[in-house]
Amino acid sequence: MDIQHLHTVFVGNPGTGKTTVARILTKIYKALGVLERGHMVETDRQGLVAGYVGQTAIKTAERIDEAMGGVLFIDEAYALTSGGSGGVSGGGDFGNEAIQTILKRMEDSRGQFFVFAAGYPDNMEAFLKANPGLRSRFDKILKFEDYDSPELYEISLQMLGDEGLEVDQNAKEHLVKYLEFLYQARDKYFGNARSVRNIINDIVKNQSLRLASIPSEERDPNIINLITYEDVATLKLNHDDDIFNKKSIGFRKKSGAVE
């Protein structure tokens, strides 16, 4: 293993486990003796870029110093080359200053720390092409595919299990159908495990409200930890709940009107 070249790009959509795998890899490198401390410093554009030219190099160097002996994990790293969103004028230049600082330290302190850069597929390709030094430093790329519907279902059961909850058969069948619908309808904003977490939060909330509506003396202690169909019935197999499908105020296209 060439320990001088373990800088890695993590490419994948939201909720595919990029940060989790980065933490695991960091622990593995520590166990193998590749990293001295084996910790991971997580940051993003905001944690590296300052408001004035010259300050960014100092701020970035501080994050790198924290990561020495471990890993500097840069989430949404492409924001360093795109200038971020809602940033101040000249933000792209400040981002480039951060990149130049990181590249220099990657060369000067080879093997003493590693950089993991994570982001969405299209954005990360633009990130690597934005600076010739980036492609040569990050020679390892890990791709994270979207979870398919059976995997999303297994994730949902694990999350419910972590809450100490079981699922009855009717609820399971509906959950399977809904996650298949969600997977087939996914777009580039699909959150994978993050989306499942939001769904589970809603299911747990529904169950709590259902139990709260039952008088305590009538509440069966055997079903307190059971998810029923009633708890998942709010998960609709259509797009009625999509934000832009809801009734809104605005201009409507008249029949026969030219777009």
CATH numeric code, 8-144: 3.40.50.300
Structural tokens at position 87 = 């940033």
Task: Note the pLDDT of residue 242.
Answer: 54
* Residues 61/105, Cβ–Cβ less than 8 Å: yes
Overall pTM surpassing 0.85 (yes/no):
no
Is the separation of the CB atoms in 54 and 21 below 8 Å?
no
Q: How far is CA 211 from CA 1, 76, 226, 232, in A?
A: 56, 41, 10, 14
Quick one: pLDDT at residue 239? 67
pLDDT attached to residue 85: 45
Q: Does domain 149-245 have CATH number 2.40.30.160?
A: no
DSSP state of 92: H
Instruction: Give pLDDT < 70 ranges for the chain.
Output: 1-4, 83-92, 239-259
- End-to-end CA distance of the chain: give it in Å, rounded: 59
Q: What are the boundaries of each domain within the chain?
A: 8-144, 149-245
What b/e sequence results for 217-240 when a residue is b if at least 16 CB atoms lie within 10 Å of its CB, and e otherwise? eeeeeeeeeebbeebbeebeeeee
Q: What is the pLDDT of residues 75-93, one digit of tens each?
A: 999 999 875 543 333 445 7
pLDDT for the residue numbered 156: 98
**pLDDT of amino acid 245:** 44
Q: Please name the helix (run of DSSP H) or strand (run of DSSP E) that holds residue 259, with its range, or none.
A: none
What distances in angstroms separate CA 50 from CA 45, 54, 76, 131, 165, one per listed residue? Answer: 9, 8, 17, 20, 46
Position 3 scores a pLDDT of 56
Q: Hey, what amino acid is at 203?
A: I
Beta-carbon contacts of 38 under 8 Å, excluding residues fewer than 6 positions away, are: 26, 27, 29, 30, 31, 69, 70
The structure tokens listed for 236 are 């609709």
What's the pLDDT score for residue 187?
Answer: 84
Q: What is the pLDDT of residue 199?
A: 97
List the beta bridge partners of residue 227: 167
β-strands 8-12, 114-119 pairing:
parallel
